[in-house]
Amino acid sequence: MSFLHWHWPILPLEVLGEIMVHVREDHQSTDTLRACALVNRSMREICQRLLFRDITVLYHLQTASEPDMAFTTPTTISIFDFDEYEGGCTTGARLHDNFLTRDGLPRIRSFVQKLSVRFSTEGSAISHRRRTFSLPAILKYLDRLKTIQFCRLDGIGSDHYNDIEFHPTTVKHLQDSMQALPPTITHIDTRAFAIFPISLLLRNVSSSARLRKLSSMRFDTAIPAGLVYKPLRVEHLEIGTCPPPARRAFELSSLRRLTIWSKPEFPIEVDAIMAIVEGSRLTLQSLELARYRCKSMSAELVTQLDLLVTSLVACEVPTFKIRSLTDDEN
């Protein structure tokens, strides 16, 4: 057979896709995927889907420690777009202006399934001409988004539960962001914030949305008078060290998994946990208490754990476990 007529066997696109999924798991996958996207049209399609499946954007976070800000309390935080940022992350303004709003990109926008929102107090100062928060505008373009995750706030400990508040303007921007979430959203993760207003979700997350999982360190359970809402229906609820959210905010009869992230300096709220277990006892399949590692357990903690285990056994929860976490685990 002449070499000129030799044809290499062609792998099905599904097989190529599975191979590139494993390539993506490598820590240097971005450069590899970009190179593979230049091979041909089919590889470009496969690699673009993987490159744009998860996107991370960066925003500027300011606190009352900066003297030119008019804050209502010493611990209020505000979130803005960067005017300029020289780091490796894509800023919200850059993503919106140079990627999402350009002509000919709707196909690529449809690849985005997860949006991670990071915050930093470092970098260039924000422009006084643009004190905005572009996240609501970005979300309007991501009509197939499944997960939005607010990553941890650098420099602000998640254990300062009673000391952090949002600036009223930031609350408005977050409300606009919740309103802009597409109905395809299945997971909202607000664990970056020490406390997150549950009213923002009740007011703005559509009852027809496909929301299945909700993660939060703690909810501000205050519900404004006159707010018309339907309780959130989720199958998996992850909550932090403080008591679980108000039961009237959730339809517990649909809950299948309950995960509680706990720190040594906070007590285990056995009564609050059991209130959720009782409300979901017909559907709850598993409960996990993930407690951050400490050198030794106090007698009070041992008593709390013993009471919790005894209560769970009495309720016949199908599966429950208690495990230790390191500080770098989520």
| One domain for residues 57 and 193 | yes
Q: Is residue 269 part of a domain?
A: yes
Residue 228 region by backbone torsions, left for phi larger than 0, else alpha for psi between -120 and 50, else beta: beta
Report, as an integer, the average pLDDT of 197-210. Answer: 74
Q: State the residue range of the domain holding 255.
A: 231-330
CB 119 within 8 A of CB 77: no
| One domain for residues 172 and 192 | yes
Q: Is residue 31 part of a domain?
A: yes
pLDDT at 159 over 50: no
Among 7-21, 46-60, 138-152, 199-213, the least confident range: 7-21
Question: DSSP assignment of 80-116, as one string?
Answer: E--S---SSSEEHHHHIIIIITSTT-HHHHTT--EEE
Q: Is residue 5 part of a domain?
A: no
Give pLDDT, residue 33. 64
> Of residues 58 and 207, which shows the higher confidence score?
58
Q: Is residue 226 part of a domain?
A: no
CA distance linking residue 330 with residue 326, whole number of Å = 9
Structure tokens at 318: 């199908």
Report, as an integer, the average pLDDT of 217-246. Answer: 77
Domain count, the chain: 3
Among residues 165, 186, 204, the one where a domain terminates is: 204
Length of the chain: 330
Give pLDDT, residue 213. 93
Q: Is residue 179 part of a domain?
A: yes
Backbone angles phi, psi at 252, to 5 degrees: -70, -15
Q: Which amino acid is present at 219?
A: F
CA distance linking residue 14 with residue 123, whole number of Å = 42
| One domain for residues 194 and 62 | yes
* Rounded alpha-carbon distances, angstroms, from residue 280 to 239, 284, 310: 16, 5, 18
| One domain for residues 24 and 93 | no
Contacts of 11 (CB under 8 A, 6+ apart): 19
| One domain for residues 179 and 273 | no
Structure tokens at 63: 């606190």
Give the CA count within 13 Å in the CB-facing half-sphere of 144: 12
| One domain for residues 115 and 191 | yes
CA distance linking residue 18 with residue 50, whole number of Å = 11
pTM listed for this prediction: 0.77
| One domain for residues 57 and 199 | yes
Q: Is residue 218 part of a domain?
A: no
Give pLDDT, residue 192. 78
- Report the relative pairing of strands 76-80 and 165-166 from DSSP bridges: parallel
Contacts of 127 (CB under 8 A, 6+ apart): 83
Mean of per-residue pLDDT scores for the chain:
72
| One domain for residues 93 and 146 | yes
Q: Is residue 138 part of a domain?
A: yes
CB 174 within 8 A of CB 200: yes
| One domain for residues 161 and 239 | no
Structure tokens at 273: 């946990």
| One domain for residues 103 and 91 | yes
Give pLDDT, residue 85. 65
| One domain for residues 107 and 133 | yes
Give pLDDT, residue 39. 65
Q: Is residue 75 part of a domain?
A: yes
pLDDT digits (tens, 9 = 90+) for 61-104: 776 544 444 444 446 777 777 776 666 677 777 777 766 666 65
| One domain for residues 59 and 199 | yes
Q: Of 193, 189, 232, 225, which is closest to residue 209 (Cα–Cα)?
A: 232
